[in-house]
Amino acid sequence: MAELLDGRAIAKELKEEIKLEIAKWKEKGVESKLAVILVGDDPASVIYAKSKQRVAEDMGIAFDLFAMPGDTLEIAVLDLIDCLNNDMEFHGIMIELPLPKHISKEKIMAAVRPEKDVDGGHPINRGYILSGEEGLFPATPLSCIELLLRSGVEISGKHVVIVGRGETVGKPLVFLMLKHNATVTICHSRTVDLGSFTRQADILISAVGKINLITEDMVKPGAVVVDAGINETANGICGDVDFEKVKEIAGRISPVPGGVGALTTVLIMRNVLKGITLQGGC
Ligand code: NAP
């Protein structure tokens, strides 16, 4: 039976490291602060914003939630971002997605100052991830990497198969994996015979959002399986992997909840601190 990749334990470890760093900045007179912009009342976004507030405040990062009605004009959101970009009190800006349909996600993402872009959505940060330079990168792909490395899983030289080429998880993860010297295959909805690829994986990562997409016959015995998918069910959330059956085949496996998702919010906070450095430490 597979050993668990325990996201909650790693999140605890990371929180302690980040708290120490926050304290060091405080000694230098820098009070870290995160702004979250929420447009509309999408129930999941409201929950995610509140959870960020809890984690930030618990770790000693000041937090402001800017909740705007769903019919707010795009220009008003851009004005708010402009204010926050120029306000030295704020080191990180995060936009809760999805935005209402009348607001262009691309325009909003590009308006955030790259050094404050804690979710890594700005075109400059997306370019840095591609070129391998330092920047602010999306938290969920970073969570996959931290989960593996801190669990003692070697990435270098391994064949990593990623299922899902979404902008938030799958696509950025390709470049982070390349940076860690993995050989990467990426699959998506047009991949023919998905199992023939997933069975080749030393490390298999699913980032799709489909219950039971990854079944036991699609996993090489002893492989490491990371489930980044989140699916809502009547009994709470679950991932993309048929956990009960795949855990009998895999060598290591991440649960949902308690795997990748447990690290995501904490890594946004680490990005706030990285942002302070990128902004010149003030
Ligand atoms: P997305 O943009 O909707 O991308 C989903 C990807 O899955 C697409 O590339 C799509 O292929 C592919 N796909 C769909 N059906 C497939 C199939 N049958 N076989 C193979 N590939 C298939 O989603 P995302 O924003 O990247 O998020 C992916 C998952 O991660 C979601 O479940 C989301 O909830 C979860 N997530 C988790 C966290 C966390 O903290 N753990 C954070 C963010 C997101 P095409 O490109 O061909 O359409």
Q: Name the burial class of residue 124, with classes exposed (0-12), middle (13-18) and buried (19+) by CB atoms within 10 angstroms of its CB.
A: middle
Task: Provide the sign of the torsion angle of the four alpha carbons 133, 139, 140, 144, taken in this order.
Answer: positive
Same domain, 105 and 152: no
Query: Which pLDDT does position 83 carry in this prediction?
Result: 98
Sheet-wide strand order for 92-95: 62-68, 33-39, 92-95
Closest Cα to atom 30 of ligand 1: 229
Residue 178 lies in a domain: yes
230: Cβ below 6 Å to ligand 1?
A: yes
- Per residue in 89-107, pLDDT (tens digit) is 999 999 999 999 999 999 9
Same domain, 152 and 253: yes
Residue 268 lies in a domain: no
Both tokens assigned to 246: 């795949």
165: Cβ below 6 Å to ligand 1?
A: yes
- Per residue in 209-268, pLDDT (tens digit) is 999 999 999 999 999 999 999 999 999 999 999 999 999 999 999 999 999 999 999 999
Helix 261-278 vs helix 43-59: crossing angle, to nearest 10: 60
11: Cβ below 6 Å to ligand 1?
A: no
80: Cβ below 6 Å to ligand 1?
A: no
pLDDT band (50, 70, 90) for residue 281 = confident
Here the CATH number for the domain that contains residue 53 is: 3.40.50.10860
Here the CATH number for the domain that contains residue 147 is: 3.40.50.720
- The residues, any chain, with a CB within 8 Å of residue 103's CB and separated by 6 or more, are 39, 72, 74, 77
| Residue reference for tokens 């079944």 | 215
272: Cβ below 6 Å to ligand 1?
A: no
pLDDT band (50, 70, 90) for residue 282 = confident
Query: Which pLDDT does position 185 carry in this prediction?
Result: 98
Atom of ligand 1 nearest to the CA of 231: 32
Same domain, 54 and 162: no
Total domains in the fold of the chain = 2
Same domain, 194 and 240: yes
| Residue reference for tokens 């064949």 | 159
Residue 2 lies in a domain: no
Whether the CB-CB separation of 217 and 250 falls below 8 Å is answered with no
Same domain, 153 and 244: yes
Task: Provide the sign of the torsion angle of the four alpha carbons 9, 175, 201, 154, taken in this order.
Answer: negative
Distance 35 CA to ligand 1 centre (A): 26
Sheet-wide strand order for 224-227: 3-4, 252-253, 224-227, 203-206, 159-163, 183-187
Distance 167 CA to ligand 1 centre (A): 9
210: Cβ below 6 Å to ligand 1?
A: yes
Residue 134 lies in a domain: no
Indicate the top mutation candidate among 51, 168, 171 to test ligand 1's pocket, ranked by most ligand atoms within 8 A of CB. 168
Same domain, 148 and 83: no
- Per residue in 189-211, pLDDT (tens digit) is 999 999 999 999 999 999 999 99
Q: How far apart are CA 195 and CA 14, in angstroms?
A: 34
Indicate the top mutation candidate among 42, 145, 169, 187 to test ligand 1's pocket, ranked by most ligand atoms within 8 A of CB. 169
Same domain, 206 and 150: yes
Distance 171 CA to ligand 1 centre (A): 10
List, as own/partner pairs, every contact residues 25-31 make where C-beta atoms lie below 8 angstroms and the sequence separation is at least 24, other chains included: 25/273, 25/276, 25/281, 26/60, 28/281, 30/276, 30/281, 30/282, 31/62, 31/89
Q: How far apart are CA 175 and CA 19, in angstroms?
A: 28
Residue 16 lies in a domain: no
Residue 179 lies in a domain: yes
- Per residue in 109-140, pLDDT (tens digit) is 999 999 999 999 999 999 999 998 999 999 99
140: Cβ below 6 Å to ligand 1?
A: yes
Same domain, 249 and 147: yes
164: Cβ below 6 Å to ligand 1?
A: yes
Residue 249 lies in a domain: yes
Whether the CB-CB separation of 150 and 176 falls below 8 Å is answered with no
Residue 127 lies in a domain: no
Both tokens assigned to 198: 């997933």
Closest Cα to atom 22 of ligand 1: 189
For residue 57, give its domain range. 30-113
Closest Cα to atom 2 of ligand 1: 166
Same domain, 156 and 243: yes
Query: Which pLDDT does position 132 carry in this prediction?
Result: 87
